[in-house]
Structure 1
Amino acid sequence: MFSIRYRFVYMFLLGAYSFANILLVEAFEHYPIETGKTELFFLFIAVVIGIWEGNRILDHYLSQKYIKPFWKRITYNFAGSIIITLLVTLLLGGLTSFLTISPHWQDWVLPLKLLLMICFRINLFLNTVHVIYLYHHQLENSHREVANYKKISTQAQLQALKNQVNPHFLFNNLSVLSALIPTDANASVEFVRQFSRVYRYLLKSHEKEIVELSEELSFTDSYLYLLKTRFASGLVVDVRIPPSGISAYIVPVSLQMLVENAVKHNVVAKNKPLYLEIFSHDDVSITVKNNLQLKPVDKEESTKLGLSNIVKRYDFLGRKGIQIQQTDDFFSVTLPLIRIKKPIPSGGNVLPDFSSTNE
């Protein structure tokens, strides 16, 4: 608010209004001050400019420091503005009193007291308007972040769905199905069932910001079933999740996207199997890890949206700590698990309290 475009116009109007208010309440008649009305008018304009600009510099400094939480920045801003108001008032008021009243500071006490009272009210008014402005600005940013998150989330899920309906994926799975039908009817029925589960989950996943890990693992298991049926012994999967971690939450489709990236960018063959691990040792994170045997040339260009979208979606939820590690032998991505505390209220509904397990 202090840096608005026409701030000097508002400074002049606020100074003029404050001076007019003092005239209307006849303060100068009750407290005789030898300084002329013209000098007092310009003094009011000067102190308003000093307080406003001092607050602007302080607010800019605090914004550069990225002070969080929000209430702490407001507290620092208000405390600093009191000091600024005191210094500006004493400096300009003292100078005016010296020039127009008396060179002796004892004669300035009453004028300075009155000026301090007025200036602190001006400062309180400015800070109140500034807090309203900041809250409004923060609310607009929150709306933009929500819209951005929805865009990122939808983009990630559409990308996942697009990857599953691309001709390569459909052709490969239909080829597997056509080979199963004449040889093993039961296996072909199971393949179709798992195939439908994958699509059903992808189509509904955009409805939730987070899902239970058990639900995500069930979907990933269906996806892995399709991959293992296709690659047979070329893909070796090891899933190790303790029961205590199943109740945690995770961003939807995240595990599937990591599994897909591993298969997409690495050689998967019987004579050179891809070893894929999905595990959680500490109940605060889950890791997807694979041995590194990159394809010499990727037939499909990577959009690099998958991992980026996962990171952004976790950032929006306030969950940092995604770890990406690559060596000559393996590649792994570790995602933080999310716990939801659901307090039982005495009456009414209470929104769940989100807290990461590693906090």
Structure 2
Amino acid sequence: MQTSLPVAVAAPDSSVPALPDVFRAAPTSLRALGRAVRVILLLALGISVLVNPQALHSWKSFAITYAYTVMYSTGLWLTNGYVVEWLNRRYAWTVQPGRRVLLTLAVSLGGSLLVIVGMNAVLLLIQGQPLARLWSGQMYWQVLMPLIITVIVSLFNHSRAFFFQWRDAAVRAERLEKESAVARLDSLRRQVDPHFLFNSLNALTSLVEENDPARAVRFIRQLSQVYRYVLDSESQELVPLAQEVRFAESYLYLQKTRLGDALAVEMDLPPTALAAYHVPPLALQLLLENVIKHNTAFQANPLHVAVALDAATQTLTVRNTLRPRRLAPGESSGLGLKNLAARYAFLTDKQLAIGEEAGEFVVTLPLLEL
């Protein structure tokens, strides 16, 4: 039995290398359990050869060394695997990381200490020595050194586990935020389309009530072309400004069919200056729609609207005579400009400018470049 004494000193120190694999979460399937057992057995074999190569000359000595190393590694694996897995279910790293670190240290330190003392006690019993030697100065370093190494390896592995959990949580949060933003943007975009259709149908109703079938038919054809643009741009976050201007001109044609000379529009938009810029779909149409809906227009006193592009500031400004009219209940949701501002917020840090200047209502749209 004396040939195994070197093992009693070396085994606690040298069985620690099994910890990197052992310290991971406890296996959740038989296959994972079998893999963990194989890892422990193979590592214990290598450690046994390294710490006590002389035992290779005696199968009995080697069997004792190997059994001791296997039990030592298994004890640490159970302590730092299943117990820490229990902590994972109750105290997540991402909720209270400071508290979790302290709990992990306490569990790892206390459990490993029990394993180390227990294995040294087993070794003393095998050697026929009294257990009182556990508290002697001779056993001090045999307990303290492997305990320090165990804590260091435990901290490394749990720090690694914390990093991966934190990274996964950050990825999930980013994905959730992106999906939420896309969903809100889609919701805002869908709020524009029914609003435009509702007002167009109101205009068509007026033509029908005026008993003018020819203009009504022409209006329907123009409306179909306009609404085709609405449907085609529904899935796009940005459209070329030139395309949006052509759509706005078609929209104004529909409105002038209904209002006649009561609506006067000036558009200072050089075609060569439009090519470089983009805007959210229906942005310009929404501003024109708001002008017509919220202001009075008469043949003798037309509603003036001016649309101008400023290449220096990269903005598009829509200004109109401020002549507010009383709206019927339910005619306006009050969400038009708010939705447009929200859509811009998803796309850029540039903001809409909305205000009144010298009796005019002015809205300035930032132009975006791709």
Contact 1:249–1:337 (CA under 8 A) maintained in structure 2: yes
Deviation at 1:132, TM superposition (A): 1.9
Aligned letter for 1:162? Answer: F
Deviation at 1:298, TM superposition (A): 2.0
Q: How does 1:89-168 map to 2 (within 5 A)?
A: 119=155, 122-165=158-201, 168=202
Contact 2:322–2:360 (CA under 8 A) maintained in structure 1: yes
Tell me the secondary structure at the aligned position of residue 287 of structure 1: strand
Tell me the secondary structure at the aligned position of residue 338 of structure 1: coil
Q: Which runs of 5+ in 1 are unaligned?
A: 42-110, 182-186, 341-359
Tell me the secondary structure at the aligned position of residue 334 of structure 1: strand
Counterpart residue number, 2:363: 333
**Pair 1:18–1:254, CA change in 2 (3 A):** farther
**Pair 1:18–1:269, CA change in 2 (3 A):** farther
Deviation at 1:213, TM superposition (A): 1.3
Aligned letter for 2:259? Answer: F
Counterpart residue number, 1:12: 103
Q: How does 1:234-273 map to 2 (within 5 A)?
A: 234-242=262-270, 243-273=272-302
Structure with the bigger percentage of helix: 2
Deviation at 1:250, TM superposition (A): 1.2
How well do the aligned residues superpose, as a CA RMSD in angstroms?
A: 3.8
**Pair 1:230–1:33, CA change in 2 (3 A):** farther
Contact 1:319–1:336 (CA under 8 A) maintained in structure 2: no
| Alpha-carbon distance between aligned partners in 1 of 2:303 and 2:273, rounded to the nearest angstrom | 28
Counterpart residue number, 1:274: 303
**CA-to-partner distance for each residue in 1:246-276, whole Å, 9 max, x for gaps?**
3422111111111111111111112221111
Q: Which runs of 5+ in 2 are unaligned?
A: 1-91, 121-137
- Identity among equivalent positions (%) equals 27
| Alpha-carbon distance between aligned partners in 1 of 2:274 and 2:116, rounded to the nearest angstrom | 70
**CA-to-partner distance for each residue in 1:11-39, whole Å, 9 max, x for gaps?**
6357524765799899x99xx9959979x
**Pair 1:198–1:126, CA change in 2 (3 A):** same
Contact 1:160–1:202 (CA under 8 A) maintained in structure 2: no
Counterpart residue number, 1:89: none
Counterpart residue number, 1:73: none
Aligned letter for 2:266? Answer: D
**Pair 1:320–1:25, CA change in 2 (3 A):** farther
TM-score (norm 1): 0.60
Shifted more, 125-134 versus 141-150: the winner is: 125-134
Q: How does 1:1-359 map to 2 (within 5 A)?
A: 2-4=93-95, 12=103, 15-17=106-108, 119=155, 122-165=158-201, 168-174=202-208, 178-179=211-212, 181=214, 191-242=219-270, 243-282=272-311, 284-295=314-325, 297-299=326-328, 301-327=331-357, 329-340=359-370
| Alpha-carbon distance between aligned partners in 1 of 2:141 and 2:166, rounded to the nearest angstrom | 32
Counterpart residue number, 2:38: none
Aligned letter for 1:251? Answer: P
Tell me the secondary structure at the aligned position of residue 369 of structure 2: strand
Aligned letter for 1:205? Answer: S
| Alpha-carbon distance between aligned partners in 1 of 2:231 and 2:152, rounded to the nearest angstrom | 65
**CA-to-partner distance for each residue in 1:295-350, whole Å, 9 max, x for gaps?**
2x22354201211111122222234321112245111211222222xxxxxxxxxx
Tell me the secondary structure at the aligned position of residue 298 of structure 1: coil
Tell me the secondary structure at the aligned position of residue 236 of structure 1: strand
**Pair 1:319–1:190, CA change in 2 (3 A):** farther
**CA-to-partner distance for each residue in 1:131-175, whole Å, 9 max, x for gaps?**
22111111112112212211221122222222322xx32222445
**Pair 1:326–1:22, CA change in 2 (3 A):** farther
| Alpha-carbon distance between aligned partners in 2 of 1:211 and 1:150, rounded to the nearest angstrom | 15
Deviation at 1:292, TM superposition (A): 0.6
**Pair 1:245–1:116, CA change in 2 (3 A):** farther
**CA-to-partner distance for each residue in 1:211-263, whole Å, 9 max, x for gaps?**
11122111111110122232222211011123222342211111111111111
**Pair 1:217–1:175, CA change in 2 (3 A):** farther
Runs of 4+ in 1 over 6 A off after TM superposition: 21-26, 35-38, 113-117
| Alpha-carbon distance between aligned partners in 2 of 1:128 and 1:33, rounded to the nearest angstrom | 38
Number of aligned residues: 257
Aligned letter for 1:322? Answer: L
| Alpha-carbon distance between aligned partners in 2 of 1:163 and 1:11, rounded to the nearest angstrom | 64
